[in-house]
Amino acid sequence: MAISRRSALAASLAGGAGLLFGGGLGSAPARADTAAGGAAGPDEALRLLEEGNERWRNHAQTHPNEGRERRQELLDGQEPFALVLGCADSRVPAELVFDRGLGDLFDVRSAGQVLDSSVLGSVVYGVHHLHVPLIVVLGHASCGAVTAAVEVHRGAPMPDGHIGYLVERILPVVDSVPDDGGDGFIDACITANARYIADELAADPELSGAVGSGDLRIAPARYELDSSKVNFLD
């Protein structure tokens, strides 16, 4: 019997998802114990991230889950204990900021944490198929994407092309923040953007059920470049 192109594509994606994301949907997940990186739920996952960030900012990193044994474990699959939706900024790599290792975090990054279908699909994959109990929306000080939106808000021309797309997605958040003309406005917009993205995720039909049941927590946060500290906003 002939197979339609749509059916063939669906079968291909289902079979190839493990290659794309690092572990087949039916494969046995690899999980370290709680001390090494596993988490029983949202509160435990948040605690592990807070402890890791404290080590990072005090220059006391332990670099967990980087050795040969961990790499071997992950050949059988993955079960990260948190998903970090962060900015693409090179100064805010999640594994370093939270002092975590291989298989601990499911990273999704876009400038300004802007949501589009690709980003949302990656987040939903982490929740539905990897069963992460915690999503951290990680904004950061001196975010270039938010700063560009602030400049447009204050009268600069809209950038062309793909950069303009990013600014257009952030601009409504910037427009909603009272602008007193001071330097603190950019910081206020960075914080508001992280909260806005977290609220958008919590309201998404493919995520809201897990949030409502308590299986998933979505936490907005921001990283301070000067202190290396992650401040959770809620």
Q: Which helix (DSSP H) or strand (DSSP E) does residue 179 occupy?
A: none
- Higher-pLDDT residue of 81, 16: 81
Per DSSP, the three-state class of 108 is strand
pTM, full prediction: 0.84
Convert the pLDDT of each residue in 123-162 to its tens digit: 999 999 999 999 999 999 999 999 999 999 999 999 999 9
Q: Into how many domains does the chain fold? A: 1
The boundaries of the domain holding residue 171 are: 41-232
Q: Is 89 annotated as a binding residue?
A: yes
Instruction: Flag whether 143 is marked binding.
Output: yes
Q: Return the bridge partners of 140, or none.
A: 223
Is residue 23 domain-resident?
no
Q: Per the domain annotation, does 86 fall within a domain?
A: yes
Q: How far apart are CA 100 and CA 94, in angstroms?
A: 8
- Within a domain: residue 8? no
Q: Where are the alpha helices (DSSP H) in 22-160?
A: 42-57, 68-73, 94-97, 117-128, 144-153
In this structure, is residue 47 part of a structural domain? Answer: yes
Summarize the confidence of residues 211-227 as an average pLDDT. 98
User: Has residue 68 been placed in a domain?
Assistant: yes
Please state the separation of Cα 131 from the chain's center in Å: 14
Share of the chain above pLDDT 90, in %: 81
Helix (H, G, I), strand (E, B) or coil at 82: strand
Q: What CATH number is associated with residue 110?
A: 3.40.1050.10
Residue 4 lies in a domain: no
Asked, for residue 135, whether it belongs to a domain, the answer is: yes
Residue 87, annotated as binding a ligand? yes
Query: Within a domain: residue 28?
Result: no
Instruction: Find the angle CA(223)-CA(104)-CA(77) to the nearest 5 degrees.
Output: 150
